[in-house]
Structure 1
Amino acid sequence: MPAPEPTPPQSSLPEAVSHFGAHVLADAAARACDIKAATGGPPCVPSLPTPPAMSAPAPPPLDAPALEVQAPSADLERILRGPSGLGTAGLRLILREKPPTPPEPPAAAAKGRPIPGLYHHPVPEPDPVRVEEISRRIKSWALDEVALYPEDWEKEFDGFSVGRYMVGCHPDAPTIDHLMIATRLMVAENAVDDCYCEDHGGSPIGLGERLLLAHTALDPLYTTEEYQPQWAKSLHADAPRRAYRSAMEYFVQASSPAQADRFRHDMARLHMGYLAEAAWAQMDHVPEVWEYLAMRQFNNFRPCPTITDTVGGYELPADLHAQPAMQKVIVLAANATTLVNDLYSYTKELNAPGRHLNLPVVIAEREGLSDRDAYLKSVEVHNDLMHDFETEAAALAAAVPLPSVQRFLRGVAAWVDGNHDWHRTNTYRYSLPDFW
């Protein structure tokens, strides 16, 4: 069911901005209607320009022209129409009709199939030139700069397809170097999860100490001259800390102090979520469904969409990023995309040693449902969060139609769609249960 037309929240910005916003949106809406009338439908979406494989021009200034991305829904048409008028002509935005609930795609269209009934939006195939170059560079960084994994983990590293993942999630990144900012952080976060929490020697026992020491690679320790060298040496003690330290150094060079600090804050949230899940594992406890969803609001993908402006080469000002309405949009996007991971990794986790908590497992246990019914209910929970995300994003776009806000919301929406597409197509890691 499509999300209802939202009622825009009261903006905390000056009244003049709200008047400007009404004019901008009315102008953009009229222009979009003219385009539809003239063409008999929405305009075609042009492909992204292919960047030079090795060149890395300087990042664009704040609010640089946005590359065209596909809209995730009819509710978000307002986001994608964007502002017009004085000072906004450089923003190129695309209107896309809301896709119908798609039938099962032909086998030749793409590997992997979407979860039946899962609310999502198809995306263009990620630029293969960028995917290849990102894949080459990230492997070189992992092996040569941070010694991330031993030789027998190479197949698993390649199977993660992080190049395809990040190119698909950040279609407006102006250069390969900008994409590498997100790619290093993604690989480093995955190394912490694997080596400290799960697949490769992870354990809930002692996790708090490991996470705290690793977090100092993101949020540096300031201590006395006597002890500073010991801390600095510790940042090279294991692969997760080496990866965190290096990825954060690259990120700080490309971001503003406010962007770096917001990322550190979201990583602290992530680590707190890891600790809650670890505590349940130590107690052999299955939480209530609402408790699990609370944990997932912290142990989720939030650090990824929150850096969408840094990867895009611009900055959403700190006061706008901190607005409760913006935070709600980011959290809803992160919660929905994390449940996508729960659903696509369900079979993988069932086949792994021990009991892995995910939403279908918790619903089955706590609500007395069959595995199939619990899985299908989890799909509904995801869909509700997606509709809420789109409704809140559309309301915020209408209330605060500033160029940086508009572009940031487009970037978050693109991240949501790219994240689903990566899960759908990564058949090396994921397969669907036989519930249909």
Structure 2
Amino acid sequence: MTDSRSALSTLLAGPTGLGTSAARFVAEVAAARLPEPEAPAAEPETPAVEPVHDPAYAYRPWGDGSAPPLYCPVTERIDDVLAEEVNQRLVSWAADCGFSDEECEQIGKTGFARLVMLAHPDCDDPDRLLISAKLNAAWWAADDLYADDTALGAVPAELPPRLALAMAAMDPLPPLGEFSRELDETLAGDRVLIALRTGTDYLRQYGTPAQSQRVCYSTFTMFVSWNAYAAWNHSGKYPPAWEYIAARQHDSFYTSMTLIDVLGGYELPANLYYDARVRQAAIQAGTASVLVNDLHSVTKDLADENPPCNMVLQVAADRGCSVEEATETTVELHNDVVRDFQEAHESLLPVASPELQRFLRGLRSWMGGGFEWHSTSPRYRTDPAAAEAH
């Protein structure tokens, strides 16, 4: 079998070896200096060819149906029996972490187990699905209790030191004698930190060291964006949409997607995972999915005493337009990002790596499952009767 790393390198980088980078540079400069070729003689027009529709994608209505539909992958699997099995284990774990009965009930109703069932259709093992359910629940708890929801105790000025401890919880530090005692006590006394620590410990039972550390570092990158939001919130100087979306690309469902191969029971090698074009496709998938989150979160965010940043709200503020107009702009952006991912996926199909092809399909599956979850989770439903039905 062709080595997958070599295959991707050959496809994406062109010729390699001593002197080839300089040769490519000289060729590019020479090409840039060449005069424009003369326009060829006009040829008879041929009818435009309609692009072939990919059945893996569809325009999907959302919310109350008043906004334009979202171009999104279809949802590949709905298995609520499997989701409920994972959910029972998740709620039991949350109780062990120290969340109150009310909080555990809320975690169960939010449906993180259903999210991972929808987003990872190539995994039907409840123990593996529980990896993602635990970590997503822990990330959301940190987001709500530390970063976003002032009604739940989030204080912008206190976020950076809290996140420093969150990193220590996920990525254990070497012991430092007496200076570790208070740290250990703190990590053992905060339910969010316990959730992050035990969720990451559970990941390490299934993932390789490289996969586990990949999850940690993508989480810590996400925390940097959270600190930016906190600074904006604390100062009252909210960012323009372009600056917000720059930060949002590192605070997206990309972090959740780092678990795709772990749940699938394989490993995408690091030099493929971090190749520029593969990483770009993954960031596109994560960004598209988080724009779905922003679109569904507008009502909830507006109800907060200090509304968190949200792409729709930032566009509305920038342009002085209505939320409805900003929603249309955000939908259009989402749809463009999904099309960009679709093109990137297609361009990587020739790479002879089964792991890469499975991972790329996993990214697509995550987008389709994430859309389904946002459309049905009580967390984002404004109609209580409709939420109860799901």
Whether TM exceeds 0.5 here: the answer is yes
The question of 1:363 aligning with 2:363 is answered no
How far apart in 1 are the matches of 2:266 and 2:172? 25
Classify 1:337/1:114 alpha carbon distance in 2 versus 1 (closer, same or farther; 3 Å). Answer: farther
Question: Structure 1 vs Structure 2: percent identity of aligned residues?
Answer: 31
Q: Which amino acid aligns with 2:288?
A: A
How far apart in 2 are the matches of 1:137 and 1:275? 32
The question of 1:138 aligning with 2:90 is answered yes
Q: Deviations along 1:204-259, whole A, 9 cap, x unmatched?
A: 11211000011111111124233334333322121110000100100011111110
Q: What is the TM-score with the length of structure 1 in the denominator?
A: 0.73
Q: What is the TM-score with the length of structure 2 in the denominator?
A: 0.81
How far apart in 2 are the matches of 1:418 and 1:402? 24
Q: Which has the higher contact order (CA 8 A, sep 6+)?
A: 1
Q: Indicate the SS of the match to 2:192.
A: helix
More helix by share: 2
Which residue is 1:13 aligned to?
Answer: 9
The question of 1:232 aligning with 2:184 is answered yes
Q: Deviations along 1:100-128, whole A, 9 cap, x unmatched?
A: 546x69xxxxx986953211233245212
Higher radius of gyration, 1 or 2: 2
Q: 2:325 is matched with which residue: 363, 373, 388?
A: 373
The question of 1:337 aligning with 2:289 is answered yes
How far apart in 2 are the matches of 1:242 and 1:405? 33
How far apart in 1 are the matches of 2:73 and 2:299? 23
Cα pair 2:225 2:251 within 8 Å, conserved: yes
Which residue is 1:295 aligned to?
Answer: 247
Cα pair 2:73 2:365 within 8 Å, conserved: no
Q: Which amino acid aligns with 1:212?
A: A
Q: 1:249 is matched with which residue: 201, 206, 209?
A: 201
Alignment of 1:7-406 (within 5 A): 12-14=8-10, 97-98=55-56, 101=59, 116-124=68-76, 126-143=78-95, 145-147=96-98, 149-199=99-149, 200-398=152-350, 400-406=351-357
Classify 1:123/1:315 alpha carbon distance in 2 versus 1 (closer, same or farther; 3 Å). Answer: same
Cα pair 2:57 2:72 within 8 Å, conserved: no
Q: Which amino acid aligns with 2:349?
A: A
Classify 1:118/1:101 alpha carbon distance in 2 versus 1 (closer, same or farther; 3 Å). Answer: closer
5+ residue gaps, structure 2: 1-5, 15-50, 384-390
How far apart in 2 are the matches of 1:114 and 1:131? 30
Q: Which amino acid aligns with 1:182?
A: S
Aligned pair count reads: 339
How much has 1:154 moved relative to structure 2?
4.2
Cα pair 1:120 1:417 within 8 Å, conserved: yes
5+ residue gaps, structure 1: 1-9, 19-73, 78-95, 106-110
How far apart in 2 are the matches of 1:427 and 1:113? 17
Which residue is 1:40 aligned to?
Answer: none
The question of 1:419 aligning with 2:377 is answered no
Classify 1:404/1:114 alpha carbon distance in 2 versus 1 (closer, same or farther; 3 Å). Answer: farther
Cα pair 1:159 1:429 within 8 Å, conserved: no
How far apart in 2 are the matches of 1:270 and 1:170? 21
Q: Indicate the SS of the match to 1:119.
A: strand
